[in-house]
Amino acid sequence: MFSTYFELTIFLKSLSNPLTSPDNSPQSSVDVSVSTVFYRGAHSVPENLVFSSQDSVCFYVHLSAFSGAAECAFRPILSAPLSDSRYQTTRIHVPETSEILNIIFHVIYNMSCLKHSPSFNAIVTAIGRMPVYEISPKDYMAPSTPLHELLLHSMSHHPLEVYAIAAHYDVYDIAEAASAHLLSYPLNSISDEIVTQMGPVYLKRLLCLHANRLNALKYMIMTPPTFHAPTESCTYEEQKKLSRTWVMAAAHLVWDAQPSLSTHNLEAAFRPLQDQLSCPECCEIFSGRVREVAQGWSGVKDTI
C-alpha cells in the first residue's frame, strides 16, 4: 500500500531507460514505483538524476536543483559530488521512506506539499532528517517559503512542537506566531525532550510571555474604581465596601487566571458585582473601570 500522494504511482516492470543501482546490478526486472510529482518528464527540462526511497519509489530530479542552499545535499551518502557523471546513470538510494523523501524534495524545489496533506509526524521527521543529508532546514524556513507555510499550517494543532522546531533553528517569526497558541499551555508539563529542542533562550521567552501577561493583569485589575462625591444614599463608607469587594473579586480572578484569559471572561468576572449596585454614579464608574481594564488587557502583548 502506498500513501495517498502516491495514488497514481506508476508500476514499471522495466524502466524505459534502465538504470543501474550503485553496485551496478541490473534493475530492469525490479518492480519500482515512481513519484507522481517527481516523475520522468514532469518538468519542461529533462531530469538527470534518479533517487530511490527505502520503499522503492523513484524520484526523477534535476542536478540544477542542487545549488545554493542544497549544494551539499545528500553528500554524506554519496562518494562523489552529485555532478559526477556516475550519478547520471546510477540510481541514488536514500534510506528514507517515500513520504519523507517527498517532503524533502518539495522543500529543495521550493514547492508546497500541502496538497499531499503530509502528517505532522512526517513533517517533523523530514525536518529532523534534513541535516543528516547536509540540508539546513533553516535555509528553507524564510517567510513565504513552502516549509514556512507548512509549519504555520500545522501550528494550530501542534503549537508546542512547531514552537520548538522554530526555536531550534532560531526562526523567530514562526516561534512568535506559535507562541500565541501557547497561552493556555501548562508550561510545567513540557517534556525534557521538547525543552532540550527549543533551548534555554526560547524557553525563557515562553516563560516570560506567561509571567508578563499575568503580572500585567494583576497590575491592572488590583486598582479599584474611584470614589464619587458622597451622597445621602451613597456615603464614603458604602463606596469603601465596593472597593473591598472589587479587590476581593480581582484577587480571586488573578489566582485562577491563565495568560489566555479572554476579555469576555474578564468582564464576566466583575458583572455580578455591577448587577448588585443601586447607586447610578457607582454603577457608571464601575462599568467604566471594567471597560478600562478589559481594553488594557486586550493590549497586552500575546506573543514572545
Stretch that binds Zn ion, among 100-108, 147-155, 231-239, 248-256 (CB under 5 A): 231-239
Contact call for residues 141 and 169 (beta carbons, < 8 A): yes
C-alpha cell at 253: 480572578
CB neighbours of residue 188 within 10 Å: 5
Number of amino acids touching Zn ion (CB under 5 A) = 4
CB neighbours of residue 220 within 10 Å: 19
Of 7 and 232, CB closest to Zn ion:
232
Stretch that binds Zn ion, among 167-175, 246-254, 276-284, 288-296 (CB under 5 A): 276-284
Stretch that binds Zn ion, among 5-13, 71-79, 183-191, 277-285 (CB under 5 A): 277-285
Query: Taking CB under 5 A as the rule, does residue 47 contact Zn ion?
Result: no
Query: Taking CB under 5 A as the rule, does residue 274 contact Zn ion?
Result: no
Rounded to the nearest whole angstrom, what is the least distance from the CB of residue 224 to Zn ion in the complex? 13
Query: Taking CB under 5 A as the rule, does residue 139 contact Zn ion?
Result: no
Stretch that binds Zn ion, among 35-43, 127-135, 147-155, 282-290 (CB under 5 A): 282-290
Contact call for residues 69 and 138 (beta carbons, < 8 A): no
What CA–CA distance (Å, rounded) separates 46 from 273? 74
Stretch that binds Zn ion, among 14-22, 56-64, 130-138, 233-241 (CB under 5 A): 233-241
Identify residue 227 by its one-letter amino acid code: F
Specify the residue for cell string 481594564. 293
Please give the DSSP secondary-structure letter assigned to residue 115: G
Rounded to the nearest whole angstrom, what is the least distance from the CB of residue 284 to Zn ion in the complex? 9
Return the CA Rg of the chain: 30
Of 115 and 291, CB closest to Zn ion:
291
Rounded to the nearest whole angstrom, what is the least distance from the CB of residue 301 to Zn ion in the complex? 35
What CA–CA distance (Å, rounded) separates 282 from 274? 9
Among 139, 281, 292, 302, binds Zn ion (CB under 5 A): 281
Rounded to the nearest whole angstrom, what is the least distance from the CB of residue 272 to Zn ion in the complex? 17
- 3-class state of residue 57 by DSSP: strand
Q: 32 phi and psi, to 5 degrees?
A: -130, 160
Among 171, 234, 293, 304, binds Zn ion (CB under 5 A): 234
- Residue 71: half-sphere exposure toward Cβ, Cα within 13 Å: 3
Of 76 and 230, CB closest to Zn ion:
230
Separation of first and last alpha carbons in the chain:
43
Among 65, 130, 282, 304, binds Zn ion (CB under 5 A): 282
**What residues make contact with Zn ion under the rule CB under 5 A?**
234, 279, 281-282
